[in-house]
Amino acid sequence: MAGYDFDMIVIGGGAAGLTASGIAANFGAKTMMVEADRLGGDCTWTGCIPSKTLLKAGKVACQIKDAGKYGLIDAEPNIDFKKVMQHVDHVRKEVYHDADRPEIFEDMGIEVVHGLASFKDDHTIEIEYKDGRTRAVSSKYFIIATGAKAFVPPIDGIEEVDYLTNESLFEIEDLPEELLIIGGGPIGTEMSQAFVNLGSEVTIIDMADRILANDDPELVDILHDELKKQGVNYQLNASVKKVMQDGNRIKVQVEIKGEEKVIEGDALLMATGRRANTSSLNLEAAGVKTDKGNIVVDESCRSSQSNIYAAGDVTGRYQFTHMSEHMAKIAATKALLKVVPMKIEKDMVSWVTFTDPELAHVGKTEKQLKEEGEKYEVYRFPYSKIDRAVAEGETTGLVKVFAKKLSGKILGATAVGAHAGEFISEYAVAIKNGVSMRGIADTIHPYPSWGLGARRAADQWYIKNQSKWSVKLIKTIFGYRGDTPDYSDPDRVV
């Protein structure tokens, strides 16, 4: 590697880039990290951190309004939205200072450079600094981790409308009175709840017949009903034809079942997906192939050029921070250690929509299992039977686990309800390490914890594997005189 300036250059300083750089330096590789804007990327500045902070503020406001359910006195929260947004900014700056600032990585021996990188060939990039200076540097290996940005479809009139995306939403100072959101995915759904709880009138517009199309339909319906109760309005099956700016008003013309209507508001959030940041990289010069703007990688995160890897949103595979970090770990390890057998985990990808209630998933969905012809049983457990949920007044929710009938091998799990993401984390560990439903059911969980709900759901494997004849046999052998349980209800929960 002596012929190159660096052993590893990581392009991008978001979740994937920070992880990849840290791992490379930890392996003893001479490492450079190039970031065009601020370290921390989307997650710290325009995604996970600010959105969850805003959701928390909205939840607190909602709890003040509903204090009576806890035996307290209902009150109308006095919301200073500018102060709320200052709090959001303070939190993301705190995260940046604690985890993302350049000095942390420079202390690891990483050279941190702020500039725009583009390839000159497969081993050389040119960095353009903000003052116009340029610098050419070479490296044995590269990891591209430039992330993605908000995608806004070419809707008629969109260029004339003062719309928001997640990249500008957290910079506003005035609370919208009527917020329109185009897109019913995770971003649109989370922000609809945050803003309705802070006092906005919110309408979600989506061309699909339901929100959160990748999640379990039954659980989505539970969340959808809760959001409607909280005040979120929906216009589904709505094809957006045109958007218009009329002074301070924004009008969205839609077609629903052949009829056209106009929906009005004073702010518009475009939550219509994301597109990989590859346009400025000059990937052709490096021989790196793309598909619809996304860098094509194999199961080890290697691109079409053997010394160049990619991780995170730039690959278009998974739009989750945890998957960006997972891919970065694989990319850095495979590039530098070669022989380590690591591949992208595809069968146990987890995700959470952090609304209240939360909606979470890990492993195979029921739709996937049916399409693959997999034999499985569904084990259900309602939040209303979780004592901690009853104590905290959070009984809306359901846990569903998909597992093999005899072995109890877990194929997938999904949950809607308070702390659903924590339930899913336990099932993710179980799937990864081959822990069966029986293994979870036989593990002591503290009472009355939320995690006990994961065990209670696993208990249902025992219940569903009992049968009338087996109990009768036990009664006959041991001379027991009690009643035989009724097993006629396949959805019986004990």
Binding residues for NAD(+): 183-190, 273
423-454 CB burial, b ≥16 within 10 A, e <16? bbbbbbebbeeebbbbbbbeeebeeeebbbbb
Q: Which residues are annotated as a binding site for FAD?
A: 52, 313
Q: Which residues are annotated as a binding site?
A: 52, 183-190, 273, 313
DSSP 191-252: HHHHHHHHT-EEEEE-SSSSS-TTS-HHHHHHHHHHHHHHT-EEE-SEEEEEEEEETTEEEE
Separation of alpha carbons 63 and 67, rounded Å: 6
| Closest residue by Cα to residue 195 from 88, 322, 70 | 88
End-to-end CA distance of the chain: 63
| Closest residue by Cα to residue 21 from 344, 279, 331, 277 | 331
Both structure tokens of 257: 């079942």
Q: What is the largest CA-CA distance in the chain?
A: 90
Distance of CA 351 to the CA centre of its chain: 5
Asked whether the bond before 50 is cis by omega within 30 degrees of 0, the reply is: no
Contacts of 72 (CB under 8 A, 6+ apart): none
Separation of alpha carbons 46 and 127, rounded Å: 25
Both structure tokens of 269: 């959030």
Separation of alpha carbons 167 and 349, rounded Å: 26
In sequence order, what are the beta bridge partners of 126? 118, 136
Asked whether the bond before 357 is cis by omega within 30 degrees of 0, the reply is: yes
Both structure tokens of 305: 């050029």
Could you list the beta-strand ranges (E) of 16-150: 31-35, 111-114, 116-121, 124-128, 134-144, 148-150
Separation of alpha carbons 330 and 298, rounded Å: 11
Could you give the 3-state DSSP secondary structure of residue 262? Answer: strand
